[in-house]
Structure 1
Amino acid sequence: MSAAPSGDGDFLYELEVEVEAEVTLAEASRPEEVAGMPVTEWLFDPTDAEREEIGLRGLLDAVEALEDDSRPGEHGA
């Protein structure tokens, strides 16, 4: 996680924190373990959980890229 920026970057920083929290929750669901259980015991579809985690990681990468682009003087570093 990057350091907290000031000004307009606050929104991106807060979004990054929220998405990281969601990724942590998605990881904690351990869909690979649920997939080994009988379908009647599933509380969620493990495939949907994996898709959600992949989407969240993509969103996190996008937020981090936007943060990098919004920092003046750090391009190409």
Structure 2
Amino acid sequence: MSAPSGENEFLYELKIEVEEEVILVGESHLEEAADLPITDWLFDPTDAEREEIGLRGLLDAVEALEGDSRPGEHGTANA
């Protein structure tokens, strides 16, 4: 990951925040929570899994935008 510069600063900071959220969701031990009785749940494991999927999609989008905004890469396809 490169250091932020000008217009990329927002994307850089957003990427850091989303990565931190993905780590937090990953550390929530969804499998263990699903094994508990429903009355002991602090969160719904299915909702947490949906949140992780959404965060990973957002992270992919931020990375794609970062790639599109790098100098010298305009007009190239990111496959």
TM-superposed deviation, 1:67 = 0.3
Q: Deviations over 1:14-33 (max 9, x none)?
A: 00000001111110111111
What letter corresponds to residue 32 of structure 1 in structure 2? E
Equivalent position of 2:37 in the other structure: 38
Equivalent position of 1:25 in the other structure: 24
Local SS of the residue matching 2:6: coil
**Aligned-partner Cα distance in 1 for 2:7–2:44:** 38
State the 4+ residue runs in structure 1 displaced beyond 4 angstroms.
Answer: none
What letter corresponds to residue 43 of structure 2 in structure 1? F
**Aligned-partner Cα distance in 2 for 1:71–1:54:** 26
What letter corresponds to residue 29 of structure 1 in structure 2? S
Structure 1 unaligned regions, length at least 5: none
Equivalent position of 2:48 in the other structure: 49
Local SS of the residue matching 2:43: coil
Local SS of the residue matching 1:72: coil
Q: Tell me the number of residue pairs that the alignment of Structure 1 and Structure 2 aligns.
A: 76
**Aligned-partner Cα distance in 1 for 2:71–2:2:** 15
Identity among equivalent positions (%) equals 70
TM-superposed deviation, 1:3 = 1.4
Cα RMSD, aligned residues only: 1.3
Equivalent position of 1:8 in the other structure: 7
**Aligned-partner Cα distance in 1 for 2:3–2:10:** 10
TM-superposed deviation, 1:5 = 2.6
TM-superposed deviation, 1:76 = 5.2
Equivalent position of 2:71 in the other structure: 72
- Scaled by the length of structure 2, the TM-score of the pair is 0.89
